[in-house]
Amino acid sequence: MASANTTSIRPLATRDSLAWQSLFSDYAAFYNVVIPDGGQGRVWNWIFDNDNPFWCDVIALQHSDTRNSELIGFVQYQLMHRSLTGEMVCYLSDLYVKPEHRNSRAGKALIDHVILTARDWGVSNVRWLTQESNARARKLYDHYCPKSEFILYSYPVPEAD
């Protein structure tokens, strides 16, 4: 009897560069975002900069019939100041799972991983955003808590003259 495929979550490693680039590009395409020149490289550098509180963990699918594993998703998160409480919160900035694996509970596993990480750090809150129209993700997120009443404003700062 063949064993089932298994998943594991681990920090992104430098050897994952090509797989992460592909996942990150697919994530940007999902949100119809054109990554500016050098943008993907800057994010990569944030992840591996020990002085930058920005992390990326990946979920890997280990195929039962081979020794190969495949990255099927990632979560990127950071610490953020919460001035009204004088505490840090964890901001889950990016979550992406390949479309063919979205019914595999990989997204839930990644969110749970960030929540447990925040708890281990003594951080009392995890926050994230999604587009109102992202019904599939919102169905998952609604299992954690209702959407907040806050509205995000995002203003592009004009370049200096």
Contact assessment for residue 81 and residue 63, using Cβ atoms and an 8 Å cutoff: no
Query: Is residue 64 scored above 90 in pLDDT?
Result: no
Find the mean pLDDT for residues 23-51.
96
CATH of the domain at 104: 3.40.630.30
Quick check: is 108 in a domain? yes
Alpha-carbon span 125 to 113, nearest angstrom:
13
Quick check: is 35 in a domain? yes
What is the structure's pLDDT at 103? 87
Quick check: is 112 in a domain? yes
pTM of the shown model: 0.91
Structure confidence by residue, pLDDT tens digits, 117-133 = 999 999 999 999 999 99
Structure confidence by residue, pLDDT tens digits, 65-108 = 777 789 999 999 999 999 999 999 999 999 999 999 998 999 99
Quote the number of domains for the chain: 1
Quick check: is 26 in a domain? yes
